[in-house]
């Protein structure tokens, strides 16, 4: 394609994707609601130690379900590139690689995010209503957009991790031709372990073997019988900013690598 990006053509591509895949998307949305409902009600009504008071359980369930469903969603992303029977029709679509890339991003990030939030709040509303009725309580729905509160931080961290997983899955779906999900998840696990070992190794090399390192936050140097341990902390909030900065750089880098990998795909 000579024209890199045409919004009319992109809109037609998004519409075409919806027409061809709407049944799959609707079934997936229904399955998501069902899975969230099972997780909510099974845990809440069959465990005596779980409560909705304080919204801790709601936040925990949100982050777990968001990551699990995000991983499943990522495994389906750009499926046409990992299956040869579908790759030819995908590569022959009358659209640029950027438009195909943006179309995949639209459904796997924007649409998925909205559908997940709607499904979560639907199940959360039903669970909270039943809980309040049975326990004569006044628990409210969790507010993830309430500013720098604990729930707001959970939402931001969950979103950042989901985008990182999405970017890694997109990269894997482009660069691996078969067993995409297994290879991508295995490589992601290895990368996380290697990053942890390298960061710990660098920390020990700089501060010594007795140091306790909390990545992006603090370093605690071991004390002695006559000296208390010395804790070196980053200023309040700076550690989180640094953490999100690293995640953002890695996420964008994987998206860019995935896009250029898509451009290199040829029909053979």
pLDDT digits (tens, 9 = 90+) for 175-229: 776 776 677 778 878 888 887 788 777 767 766 666 666 666 666 766 555 556 6
Q: What is the H or E stretch that residue 222 is in?
A: none
Q: Is residue 208 part of a domain?
A: yes
Q: Is residue 206 part of a domain?
A: yes
Residue span of the structural domain in which 154 resides: 7-263
- What is the mean predicted confidence (pLDDT) over 258-263? 78
Percent of the chain with pLDDT over 90: 1
Q: Is residue 238 part of a domain?
A: yes
Q: Is residue 181 part of a domain?
A: yes
The total of structural domains in the chain comes to 1
Q: Is residue 1 part of a domain?
A: no
Name the nearest CA neighbour of 156 among 32, 254, 248, 76.
Answer: 248
pTM for the full model? 0.74
Q: Is residue 112 part of a domain?
A: yes
| pLDDT at site 252 | 92
| Cα distance between residue 156 and residue 74, in whole Å | 19
Contact 162, 67 (CB under 8 A): yes
pLDDT at 1 over 60: no
pLDDT at 268 over 50: no
Local structure of 218: helix, strand or coil? strand
Q: Is residue 2 part of a domain?
A: no
Of the pLDDT bands very low, low, confident and very high (cuts 50, 70, 90), residue 117 is: confident
How many residues are recorded in the chain?
268
Q: Is residue 37 part of a domain?
A: yes
Strand partners, 218: 214, 233
């Amino acid at each position: 394609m000579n024209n890199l990006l045409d919004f009319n053509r992109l809109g037609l591509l998004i519409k075409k994707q919806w027409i061809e895949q709407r049944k799959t998307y609707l079934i997936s949305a229904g399955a998501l609601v069902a899975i969230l409902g099972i997780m909510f009600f099974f845990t809440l009504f069959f465990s005596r130690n779980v409560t909705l008071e304080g919204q801790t359980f709601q936040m925990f369930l949100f982050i777990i379900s968001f990551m699990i469903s995000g991983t499943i969603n990522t495994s389906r992303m750009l499926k046409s590139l990992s299956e040869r029977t579908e790759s030819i029709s995908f590569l022959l679509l009358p659209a640029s690689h950027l438009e195909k890339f943006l179309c995949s991003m639209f459904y796997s990030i924007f649409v998925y995010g909205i559908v997940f939030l709607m499904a979560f709040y639907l199940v959360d509303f039903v669970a909270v209503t039943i809980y309040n009725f049975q326990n004569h309580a006044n628990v409210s729905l969790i507010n993830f957009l309430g500013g720098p509160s604990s729930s707001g931080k959970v939402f931001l961290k969950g979103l950042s991790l989901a985008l990182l997983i999405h970017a890694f899955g997109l990269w894997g779906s482009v660069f691996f031709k078969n067993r995409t999900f297994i290879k991508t998840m295995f490589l992601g696990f290895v990368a996380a372990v290697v990053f942890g070992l390298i960061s710990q190794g660098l920390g020990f090399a700089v501060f010594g073997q007795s140091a306790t390192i909390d990545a992006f936050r603090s370093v605690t140097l071991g004390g002695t019988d006559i000296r208390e341990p010395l804790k070196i902390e980053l200023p309040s909030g700076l550690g989180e900013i640094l953490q999100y900065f690293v995640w953002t750089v890695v996420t964008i880098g994987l998206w860019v690598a995935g896009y250029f990998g898509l451009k290199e795909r040829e029909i053979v």
